[in-house]
């Protein structure tokens, strides 16, 4: 049997030129391509207002990917909103946090990416930097927010899961975010850092496979090391 890997997706209200509005889900198809390439079966998890719906999907899965998106609502970590914060649609935010909690309870193999690792950290009681350009850390690292990715090295913790998968230290990653991990959530261990000291990956070593990265491996389809990250969640599902 191919491991079934759930993939969370975006949710937004779209308005056409004629003024018609409708809700739309969205996902980078390269997630599905990578899961297929690793001999897994991708399962898109649409945001749901019902935990029962999410639980029924989770019960059929062998692993879960929390994908990127807009910003985590700051009230979830008891912070006032920064002017630059642009939050996830409330339906997606509620669904993502519900499925993260349920996946944690079931100890499902988990790979969290960009906003996904931020959600995971907040779910575990951590906090976020809401706008990295406000930080005065040196040296300055370009954490570009948007479709124009920047690239920079990250230093990996020796012996960590992420180092074992990437097989390189330091590793080159892409960057498309303006927020980052501040206080690290319970039972999470930082395992990658950019040159400015920002935590770029966390793991839960108590679990068989629980890894979160701040970068976007799906957007590096020609990088074998980054594709191994996506293949690893399939392997963990066996």
In order of start, what are the domains of the chain with their CATH numbers?
4-236 (3.40.50.880)
Is residue 32 annotated as part of the catalytic site, yes or no? no
Give residue 204's pLDDT. Answer: 98
The dihedral of CA 72, 75, 81, 82: what is its sign? negative
Which stretch of DSSP H or E encloses residue 208? Answer: none
Residue pLDDT, tens place only, 10-35? 999 999 999 999 999 999 999 999 99
Catalytic residue among 119, 200, 203, 218: 218
Is residue 216 annotated as part of the catalytic site, yes or no? yes
Contact 47, 57 (CB under 8 A): no
Residue 146 clears pLDDT 80, i.e. is over it: no
Is residue 49 annotated as part of the catalytic site, yes or no? no
Q: Hey, is 104 helix, strand or coil? A: helix
Residue pLDDT, tens place only, 41-55? 999 999 999 999 999
Helices within 24-114 (DSSP H only): 29-37, 51-58, 90-106
Residue pLDDT, tens place only, 164-217? 999 999 999 999 999 999 999 999 999 999 999 999 999 999 999 999 999 999
Alpha carbon distance, N-terminus to C-terminus of the chain: 9
Distance of CA 201 to CAs 127, 146, 161, 166, 211, Å?
15, 20, 10, 12, 7
More confident residue, 172 or 145: 172
Assigned token pair, 184:
């690290």
Residue 150 clears pLDDT 80, i.e. is over it: yes
Q: Within 10 A of 97 (CB to CB), how many other CB atoms are there? A: 18
Give residue 143's pLDDT. Answer: 87
Residue pLDDT, tens place only, 69-100? 999 999 999 999 999 999 999 999 999 999 99
Cut 0.85: pTM above it: yes
Catalytic residue among 123, 152, 177, 216: 216
Catalytic residue among 32, 114, 115, 210: 114
């Amino acid at each position: 049997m191919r491991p079934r890997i759930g993939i969370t997706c975006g949710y937004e209200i779209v308005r056409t030129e004629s003024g018609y509005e409708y809700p739309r889900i969205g996902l980078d198809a390269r997630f599905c391509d990578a899961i297929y390439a690793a001999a897994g079966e991708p399962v898109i998890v649409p945001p749901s207002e019902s935990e029962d719906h999410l639980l029924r999907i989770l019960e059929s899965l062998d692993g879960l990917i929390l994908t990127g998106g807009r910003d985590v609502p700051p009230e979830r970590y008891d912070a006032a909103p920064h002017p630059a914060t642009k939050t996830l649609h409330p339906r997606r935010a509620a669904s993502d946090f519900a499925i993260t909690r349920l996946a944690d309870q079931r100890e499902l193999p988990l790979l969290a990416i960009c906003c996904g690792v931020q959600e995971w950290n907040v779910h575990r009681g951590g906090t976020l930097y809401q706008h990295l350009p406000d930080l005065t850390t040196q040296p300055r690292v370009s954490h570009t927010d948007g479709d124009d990715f920047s690239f920079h090295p990250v230093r990996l913790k020796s012996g960590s899961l992420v180092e074992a998968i990437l097989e390189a230290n330091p590793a080159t990653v892409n960057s498309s975010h303006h927020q980052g991990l501040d206080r690290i959530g319970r039972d999470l261990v930082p395992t990658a850092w950019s040159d400015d000291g920002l935590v770029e990956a966390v793991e839960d070593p108590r679990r068989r496979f629980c890894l979160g990265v701040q970068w976007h491996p799906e957007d590096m389809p020609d990088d074998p090391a980054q594709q191994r990250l996506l293949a690893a969640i399939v392997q963990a599902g066996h």
